[in-house]
Structure 1
Amino acid sequence: MKKNRAATPEIIDNLRRVFQVITEYSKTAEKTSGITGPQLWALKILAKTSPLRVSELAHQMYLRPATVVGILDRLEGKGLVTRTRSKEDRRAIDLNLTEKGKDVVAKAPEVAQVMLIRGLEELTDEQFTKVSEGMDLLVRILGADAITPQPLHSA
């Protein structure tokens, strides 16, 4: 069976568009809020549902807890997040926004990750499966199967 290669330029252009929009959203977030896209994403989640535990924040960000700890370290260093021992479970740490963190969220633009998740949630099951399978193929084509995913942000 002969494959139709006429769509190859459009596939490459669409990949470029995806990278460009992620980069632009991250640059806008950094310019307006002074923090990276992933940091802003963490703040926006905490603004909606704090207090949270690191594991729950990591789950909502689709990241590993160790990656989220690094993001939280930087946010805490900027005075945007606090970590306090839980009153219900003394072994657990609760994450909350500071007033400064709330101000940053109120003035900040949307982040690409939130738009991506919202868009994926709105897809039909068939569309979602097509996107998932296409992304799996793309990862294999690029030989990226073994790469540990990192947060989306500009270079």
Structure 2
Amino acid sequence: MGRSEQTPEIIDNLRRIFQAVSEYSRSAERETELTGPQLWALKILDRQAPLRVSDLARQMYLRPATVVGILDRLEGKGLVTRTRSQQDRRAVDLELTGAGRVLVAKAPEVAQVMLVNGLSTLTQQEFDSVLEGMRHMVRILGAEHLMPQPLRG
């Protein structure tokens, strides 16, 4: 099978990825009134709190400044608390409130968790293939200069 027959499959698979992320996002926002990144942060905190902003940012593959914005919105909704660490007074510990725990318990899965979990199950060869393919797609779209933003799904 040549490129002309396989190109539609590549385009269709990209469409499926965008569609899946969008559908997960709509589902999460409809059920929780939170964005995908906000819900992802809550899910991580539910499993591992207390965490520091830098630790949460690392687990979300985002910059700490981006995570602070997410946390501001979650704190404003009464779902997350920030308290001075007892061990290091300069540091802030993040934890879920009771309302945050209730929300996470009934929340749908988010695309980011599915991606991270799925990537962890790949063989090294499969992982390398995905990595190389994504690098090519970024280059093809001329998107190397773009600062990655959180997935909305």
The bucket for the TM-score relative to the shorter chain is over 0.9
Secondary structure class of the residue paired with 2:144: coil
Match of 1:75 in 2: 74
Match of 2:64 in 1: 65
- Aligned counterparts of 2:123 and 2:4: Cα–Cα separation in 1: 27
Secondary structure class of the residue paired with 2:11: helix
Q: Give me the identity figure in percent.
A: 67
1:33 paired with 2:35, answer no
Match of 1:131 in 2: 130
For 2:70, the aligned partner's letter is I
Secondary structure class of the residue paired with 1:83: strand
Match of 2:16 in 1: 17
The alignment's C-alpha RMSD in Å is: 0.9
> Offset of 1:129 from its aligned partner?
0.3
For 1:50, the aligned partner's letter is A
For 2:22, the aligned partner's letter is T
Q: Which runs of 5+ in 2 are unaligned?
A: none
TM-score by length of 2: 0.97
TM-score by length of 1: 0.96
> Offset of 1:39 from its aligned partner?
0.2
Query: What number of residue pairs does the alignment pair up?
Result: 152
> Offset of 1:6 from its aligned partner?
1.7
Secondary structure class of the residue paired with 1:144: coil
- Aligned counterparts of 1:46 and 1:127: Cα–Cα separation in 2: 30
Match of 2:55 in 1: 56
Secondary structure class of the residue paired with 1:95: strand
Secondary structure class of the residue paired with 1:145: coil
Secondary structure class of the residue paired with 1:82: strand
Q: Deviations over 1:96-119 (max 9, x none)?
A: 000000011001011010001110
> Offset of 1:34 from its aligned partner?
1.1
Q: Which runs of 5+ in 1 are unaligned?
A: none
